[in-house]
Amino acid sequence: MIRSAVTVCLVEQARRGPFVFHQDLQAACTAATHLGFDAIELFAPSAEHIRQLPLRRLLATHGLGLAAAGTGAGMLIHQLSLCDADPARRRQAEQFIADIIDVAAEFQAPAIIGSMQGRWNDQTDRTTALSMLSESLGRLGNRAAQAGTILLYEPLNRYETNLCTTLQQGCELIAQCGSTAVRLLADLFHMNIEEASLHSALLAAGSAVGHLHFVDSNRQAAGLGHIDFTPIAAALKQMQWQGYASAEAFPLPDSQIAAEQTIQTWRRLFGQSAD
Ligand code: LER
Ligand code: MN
């Protein structure tokens, strides 16, 4: 079953970021549940912040799950990354993510490593950066497995990372990281920039795909850009893929309309009547 999710951002520094709902968790849960989403995906400042939220109560009263928790605030607020040249900063980056893995696991949800992967640069060459990232993915994946969940690794487009930009590169990285609990997050916005064919890339990655950022070519809600979702949905059905299609889109023209547009497209593609 392909379930629907919608992003909620509680990070002040990401107020203009590609998240459907911003700042007000309760209002976001109310809107998500009214529209029929299965879950929310949370982008929060830290694990400690998540622990202080009334998250369990809000999810329970709205009948929602937690699809995943982002870790990008570590980069955005603290400029941490898993391939920092400074070993102490790398340890801090890993700890920041480990804490989010632990709290997300309490909700049976995975953490996402996207921007926290970092970039290679003058201090850290590409091979060294990739091996640092791979070692961290191995340790963090094992931690996720111990906590009863998986870890999501997200290839990003070339303007956001210079490490892995395609699902194929992501597959190679996670295959040699030393943990079997790491899966790929396939973000259709990044894939639209980097992949020759979105549906072929998904089919080739197969069971390595653990989560989808369900969004259009222009980072707006699915249906508001030029991605052809029909072959993507067919590929996911052919793969018998199970997971969340989570809307990581700008709140354009506003949060409510972006959420409505997403769920309409999700229903057309994955709703029961679409089978
Ligand atoms: C940012 O472009 C993005 O896709 C996030 O999910 C990465 O942290
Ligand atoms: Mn994404």
Residue 234 lies in a domain: yes
Which residue's CA lies nearest to atom 5 of ligand 1? Answer: 114
What's the domain range around 67? 2-270
β-strand pairing of 39-43 with 21-22: unpaired
Residue 275 lies in a domain: no
Q: What are the structure tokens assigned to 170, written together?
A: 């992501």
Eight-class DSSP state of 63: T
CATH of the domain at 79: 3.20.20.150
CA of 179 to the centre of ligand 1 (A): 22
CA of 114 to the centre of ligand 2 (A): 7
Find out whether 243 and 3 touch, Cβ atoms under 8 Å.
yes
Ligand 1 cavity residues, CB under 6 Å: 70, 72, 114-115, 154, 156, 160, 187, 213, 248
Whole-structure pTM over 0.75, yes or no?
yes
CA of 189 to the centre of ligand 1 (A): 9
- Backbone dihedral angles phi then psi of residue 185, each to the nearest 5 degrees: -100, 115
- Backbone dihedral angles phi then psi of residue 42, each to the nearest 5 degrees: -105, 135
3-state SS string for 78-94: HCCCCCCCCHHHHHHHH
β-strand pairing of 182-187 with 151-153: parallel
Distance, CA of 254 to CA of 214 (rounded, Å): 17
The whole-number pLDDT of residue 275 equals: 47
Residue 24 lies in a domain: yes
Find out whether 119 and 161 touch, Cβ atoms under 8 Å.
yes
Task: Collect all residues with Cβ–Cβ distance below 8 Å to 271 and sequence separation of at least 6.
Answer: none
Ligand nearest to the CA of 113: 1
pLDDT tens-digit map of 8-22: 999 999 999 999 999
Distance, CA of 133 to CA of 177 (rounded, Å): 8
List helix spans (H) across 197-254: 198-205, 229-238
Distance, CA of 50 to CA of 266 (rounded, Å): 28
CA of 244 to the centre of ligand 2 (A): 13
Say whether the peptide bond before residue 231 is cis (omega within 30 degrees of 0): no
pLDDT tens-digit map of 26-46: 999 999 999 999 999 999 999
Distance, CA of 14 to CA of 23 (rounded, Å): 10
In the chain, the number of structural domains is 1
> How does pLDDT run along the chain (275 residues), one tens digit per residue?
999 999 999 999 999 999 999 999 999 999 999 999 999 999 999 999 999 999 999 999 999 999 999 999 999 999 999 999 999 999 999 999 999 999 999 999 999 999 999 999 999 999 999 999 999 999 999 999 999 999 999 999 999 999 999 999 999 999 999 999 999 999 999 999 999 999 999 999 999 999 999 999 999 999 999 999 999 999 999 999 999 999 999 999 999 999 999 999 999 999 975 44
Q: What are the structure tokens assigned to 228, written together?
A: 């052809």
- The position carrying tokens 């622990």 is 51
Q: What are the structure tokens assigned to 188, written together?
A: 């259709």
Residue 172 lies in a domain: yes
The whole-number pLDDT of residue 38 equals: 98
The whole-number pLDDT of residue 116 equals: 98
Q: Which amino acid is at 225?
A: G
Residue 150 lies in a domain: yes
The whole-number pLDDT of residue 274 equals: 47
Residue 92 lies in a domain: yes
